[in-house]
Amino acid sequence: MAIPEAVSRWGWISTSANSAPPFSFTQAMARDAMADHNSQVPTPASDDAFAEVKAKVDLVKVVQEHVRLTKRNKDFWGLCPFHQEDSPSFKVNPQMQSWYCFGCERSGDVFTFVELIEKTDKRGALQMLAERAGVELRKLSPEQKERSDSRKRLLAMLKLAAQFYEYVLWSTPAGEPGRRLLATRQVNEDNARRFQLGYAPAGRGFAEYLRAKKRSLADAQEGGLLRRDGTDFFAERLVIPIRDERGQPLAFTARTVRADEQRKYINSPETPAYVKGRVIFGLDLARDEVARRGHAILMEGQFDVITAHGAGIQNAVASSGTALTDDQVRLLKRFTDELLLVFDADRAGRQAAQKAVLLAAAHQMRTRVATVTGAKDPDEFLRAAGADAAKQWEELTAKAPSGFEFGMEEAAAGLNLSNANHVELAARKLREWIAQFPAALQEDYRERAKRWMGVSGHLLAAEPDEKRSPGRPGAYKVGKNGLETSPAGKKMTVGRYLLQLLAVRPVAFDLVRTKITPDELDEEDRGIYERMLETYERGGVSGLEKELAGYPAEEQDLIRRAWAAPPPSVDDEVAVELAERITLDHMRGRHSGIIRELSEAERGKDSERVARLEAEARELGHAIDEMERRG
């Protein structure tokens, strides 16, 4: 592919002889065809498919793509690719088409080898080797063949787009905005090229390139690369390829370089080649280091991972900003049984970490959770650390608690465990936390929680309504003002109760807005509260009915349900009580955060920071005590 020749007629691209380094083509044709793990694997009609494929592939040639082999008599020997060793103990027998390692004692045939080396299953190995051997696993209907061909064209188009964007970024004047952005994010060229970062210029550059190559614009539109008018969907953005575990681009996320652009990131749509919840960003680069270190570091954002790899933390991967899914956990489990979760430091990040702990536990995976301090996410933490990034990262992760212990600490956050009422509340939260784990773990976790809290076992014993399916909290008794229950049997938060009260009785905004600020609400409640408040300020008590149709569907549903089934109490006294409880919870959360920072400062022997944090903690503690006395 001669991209410089094809695009040299555009005025914004340099045509100097050394302006365009050749692209590397590192994936074998068989892998290109099979790269997307989202595809549906055809099921062979019988064992005949395995036999036919095995007869057409040579184990020695397959192994030699991964291991340097030396022939000794009739056999071939090399260093085992499945464990660390200094002298060859891995033997391949070409006559038997079998292999054996005298070190780790693994053995098998060509299918077993591909399963282990590619971290796939037996059907995946069959599919990869069938492509290599030219064996058709089953007869496809015309419709199936069209879908298969369309998907292959789409994958080829996505690969071409990634190469194009990368070329523009590094070899043309048009890529300068992207290079400047990378410089501000402290991402050097070597690291950027590992992730194949690129830049999409303004205009119709990619469409012009495709016309010059006589490639289909329709395929590019299907892949979310072009708008209908032919302009680039990612125009004036730094483009980050989302690749599968073998390095095949499946989609893109793109970050604007313009200060006046409100949408900081935009993403490819889901396509026949890409389902967001089935891909782990950076896994193609991290897989070997994950195997070497025995665990993967799971982050939230792409730049978290890119910065981490630049700092030498090369077993970092990301869920790409989406909540972790079953498919993603299953994919990670092919490479490791342990995850170190390092999510954003805000409340949403901590909640996401707890959900990830539970999901991993359901798949028999161990977890630890590290919380970055003094920064909003791992990217900011590592960039602020500069040359000490690797050292500070090791210190941070060395004290990361297990996923279960992290959840215990979150359950007790803001509570005084020397206060009997607080102990009972913490115990209830811990029972809820433990009940969401697989049944086989719950008894051990109750024992650990009992020792951690220093309470008798009956406080943590599962109550009848808590003996339920993991991950499905049960119903709770109705408490004062109905704050403990919702009609669906799902625990209602104080914030949700307040929103329902305001939906039914908007005039209560006059009291509530003097008691709380939007920042004191949970992140999931903040947006709808602000929208309802603005509506009330514009249209008074009837404003909500007039403007509801313009609200997001989920918010409309919440308000309509409140109208259909109002909360038990909606008077001024309840509104004030709810607002004060929200303020108190927010203060407790801040206090817990200060205490965690104080512990870090004490370990770091930062006396100035310790003194400042102690003063803040005392002041906030007094305010909390005062509110509790009034309550």
* CATH of residue 366: 3.40.1360.10
DSSP H helices, 364-419, are 378-385, 389-398, 403-412
- Residue 602 belongs to domain with CATH number: 1.10.860
Rounded to whole angstroms, how far apart are CA atoms 161 and 276?
A: 19
| Sign of the torsion formed by the C-alpha atoms of 166, 168, 174 and 179 | positive
Q: Are residues 167 and 259 in the same domain?
A: yes
- State the CB neighbour count (10 A cutoff) for residue 631: 9
* Residues 580/627, Cβ–Cβ less than 8 Å: yes
User: Would residue 505 count as lying in a domain?
Assistant: yes
Check residue 62 and give its pLDDT: 92
Q: Is 546 found in the same domain as 628? A: yes
Same-domain pairing of 510 and 631: yes
Mark whether 533 and 624 lie in a shared domain: yes
Neighbours of 104 (CB within 10 A): 14
In a domain, 280, yes or no: no
Give the position of tokens 């992140």. 523
Final residue of a structural domain among 362, 381, 400: 400
Predicted local distance difference test score (pLDDT) of residue 618:
85
Kindly state whether residues 121 and 150 are assigned to the same domain: no
- For residue 506, is it within any domain? yes
Long-range CB contact pairs, 389-398, < 8 A, 24+? 389/311, 389/312, 390/311, 390/312, 390/313, 393/308, 393/311, 393/313, 396/370, 396/372, 397/297, 397/340, 397/342, 397/368, 397/370
Look at residue 536 and give its three-state secondary structure.
helix
pLDDT of amino acid 149: 82
The DSSP letter of residue 138 is S
3-state SS, residue 363:
coil
- What is the three-class DSSP state of 3? helix
Question: 235 with 201: CB under 8 angstroms?
Answer: yes
Q: Are residues 159 and 184 in the same domain?
A: yes
34 within some domain: no
Pick out the chain residues at pLDDT < 70.
Answer: 1-48, 139-140, 144, 321, 418-420, 455-458, 462-491, 631
Q: What is the pLDDT of residue 11?
A: 34
Q: Alpha-carbon distance 579 to 155, whole Å?
A: 53
Contact between 250 and 273 under an 8 Å Cβ cutoff? The reply is yes
Residue 244 is given by DSSP the state -
What local confidence, expressed as pLDDT, does residue 441 receive?
93
426 and 483 belong to one structural domain: no
Residue 55's domain spans which residues?
43-133
In the prediction, which pLDDT does 456 show? 65
Q: Hunting for tokens 């095995």 — which residue is that?
A: 54
Which of 66, 99, 133 corresponds to the end of one domain?
133
pLDDT at 262: 84
In the chain, how long is the greatest CA-to-CA distance?
91
Is the domain of 483 the same as that of 444?
no
| Each residue's pLDDT tens digit, 351-386 | 999 999 999 999 999 999 999 988 889 999 999 999
Q: What is the pLDDT of residue 100?
A: 94
- Same domain? For 173 and 246 the reply is yes
Domain assignment present for 571: yes
From 133, 153, 172, give the residue that closes a domain: 133
Residue 319 lies in a domain: yes
CATH code: domain of residue 15: 3.90.980.10
Whether residue 509 is found in the same domain as residue 621? yes
- Total structural domains in the chain? 5
> Burial of 217 by CB count in 10 Å (0-12 exposed, 13-18 middle, 19+ buried)?
middle
Q: Note whether residue 35 is domain-resident.
A: no
Torsion angle of C-alpha atoms 30, 33, 35, 36, degrees rounded to 10? -160
Whether residues 146 and 7 fall in one domain: yes
CA–centroid distance for 1 within its chain: 34
> Of 216, 214, 169, 158, whose CA–CA distance to 192 is shortest?
169
How much is the pLDDT for 346? 83
One domain for residues 209 and 343: no
In this structure, is residue 524 part of a structural domain? yes
